[in-house]
Amino acid sequence: MAQPNDPSTSVASGRASGSSAASRATVRTGDASSSGASVLEDPGAGILVPAQTASRSSHERIRETRYRRHATNLRLWSRNRDWWQADLPVGTRLRYYGDMAASYVRVARGQRRGIRYLDRTFMFDDVAAPLNLQAYPRAVGRDVLGNLRPGSTPRSVLDVGGNLGQFAVTLRHFAPHAQIDVFEPNSAVVPLLEQNTAGLEGVRVWPYALSPRPVDELYVEPGRSASGSLLADQVDAIAAPRSVAVRSVSDPSSVTGHQEYDLVRIDVAGYELEVLKCLGGMTVHYLYLEMSGLRGVYPHSELLMLVRRQFGDFRIVFQGPCDRRSVNHPVLLEFAG
C-alpha cells in the first residue's frame, strides 16, 4: 500500500525519536547467544527477543532502495492482478487504463498531474501514483473490509499517514458513510490531499504528525511523498532525503475530539511504535497497520506487546505476505468486544 504520517497526519527530537526502545524495555548485549547479539528485554513479560539494528550505511541503503525499485517494476503484473480482483465494475476497471495513459501524457507535457480514480479527480505528485492506486481497491475492499465481522462497516476511521488520500478516498468508495480523520504532516502534499477529499462530507484533514514528543522535521525524496518518514534512515530514497518542516501533536483527540474509532489505519514508514504511543487511552475496534520489515527500528514483539497493553487482547484477521526483504507488510488486528 501507499507508502502512506497521512496527514492521519514543535521543535525537535524527530531525528532520533524512533530509534530507541519503549520506556519499559531495556537492551542487553552478549547474554542471548555466543555471538554477543543485542537482545531486548520486556521486564513485565520476561521475554528476550533479538534487537533490530537501526543504523545502516549509505551504501547499504542505496543498494536496498535500488533492489526494491527493480522488484517493484517487475511486479507491475501484480498491480494489475489486484486491480482485476477488486470489487469494481468491469467498465470502471477498463476505463482506468485510458485515464492512466492520458495522465502520463499530461505529465510528459508538464501539465498538472491528475487522474480519474473511482469517479473522482485524484491529484498526485509521484509519477508512480496512478500505478500504485491500482492496489488500493482490493486492499481496502477485500483485505480490510472483507475481514471485518460479518455485517460490520466502519463508521469512524482514523487514518494516520494519509499521504494523498489514497486510503481515505478508496474507503469512502466502499463505505460511503464513514467519517474519516486523516493526519498528514507533509505540507507539500496537504493541498493535494485536500483537493482529493474535497466534497467527501465527514472527511477531515489534519496537517500534523503524531508523535509522543515534539518533532519538527519530515524526511522525503522530492517528488515521491509516499516515501516520507520522520526517521531519515527509513526513507526509500537513492539520493539523500530532504527535510521539510512539520508540526506535531501527541494526542489526536486534542484536535479531532474523538476517543473511539471503529478502524485505525497507520502507515508511517517506520514510526509505527511512536504513533501507537499517542493512542493510549483510546478505544479501537480494528487496527490496520503497515508494520516495518526487518530494517525497521523496533522489534515486532515490542510493538505487539504495546498494542496489547493499550487496547487489550486481539486476533490477527489478515496479514499480507512478507519475507526478510520486505520493507513492510500489512496486518489487520481485531480487538475483543
pLDDT, tens digit, 9 for 90 and up, residues 129-183? 999 999 999 999 999 999 999 999 999 999 999 999 999 999 999 999 999 999 9
The pTM (predicted TM-score) of the whole model is 0.79
**How confident is residue 54, by pLDDT bands cut at 50, 70 and 90?**
very low
Q: pLDDT at position 327, please?
A: 83
Residue from 80, 76, 138, 130 nearest 101 by CA: 130
**Domains in the chain: ranges and CATH:** 26-52 (no CATH), 54-335 (3.40.50.150)
pLDDT, tens digit, 9 for 90 and up, residues 291-310? 988 777 889 999 999 999 99
Q: Express as a percent the part of the chain with pLDDT over 70.
A: 77
pLDDT, tens digit, 9 for 90 and up, residues 319-337? 998 888 888 899 999 998 6
Which DSSP helix (H) or strand (E) runs through 286? strand 283-292
Helix, strand or coil, per DSSP, at residue 152: coil
C-alpha cell at 77: 503484473
pLDDT, tens digit, 9 for 90 and up, residues 229-277? 988 888 876 677 889 999 999 999 999 999 999 999 999 999 999 999 9
Most confident residue range from 13-17, 23-27, 42-46, 67-71: 67-71
- Determine the Cα–Cα distance for residues 115 and 220; give it in Å rounded to an integer: 23
Q: pLDDT at position 67, please?
A: 53
Residue from 139, 132, 205, 218 nearest 171 by CA: 139
Phi, psi angles (nearest 5°) of residue 207: -85, 60
Residue from 145, 143, 142, 136 nearest 118 by CA: 136
Cβ-contact 73, 66 below 8 angstroms: no
Length of the chain: 337
